Amino acid sequence: MICPNCSCPTKEEMHFCLNCGAAVSTIAEIECGNHSGAAAVGACVVCGMPVCGDCAVTKEKKLFCNDSTHAVFLDHHALLGVSDSEFEADIIVSNLKANGILPLVYSPKGFFDFKSEKADSAVRVFVVKDDRARAITILTELGLEDFIHLETIQHL
CB atoms within 10 A of CB 55: 22
With contact defined as beta carbons under 8 Å apart, do 62 and 43 qualify?
Answer: no
Per-residue burial over 74-106, b if 16 or more Cβ lie within 10 Å, else e, is beebbbbbbbeeeebbebbbebbeeeebebeeb
Binder of Zn ion out of 65, 92, 123, 148 (CB under 5 A): 65
Alpha carbons 97 and 95: distance in angstroms, whole number: 5
Tell which positions 29-48 bind Zn ion, by CB under 5 A.
Answer: 32, 34-35, 44, 46-47
**Site for Zn ion contains 70 (CB under 5 A):** yes
> Which stretch in 20-28, 72-80, 87-95, 138-146 sits in contact with Zn ion by CB under 5 A?
20-28
Query: Of 3 and 138, which has the nearer Cβ to Zn ion?
Result: 3
**Site for Zn ion contains 66 (CB under 5 A):** no
Q: Which residues bind Zn ion (CB under 5 A)?
A: 3, 5-6, 8, 17, 19-20, 22, 32, 34-35, 44, 46-47, 52, 54-55, 65, 67, 70
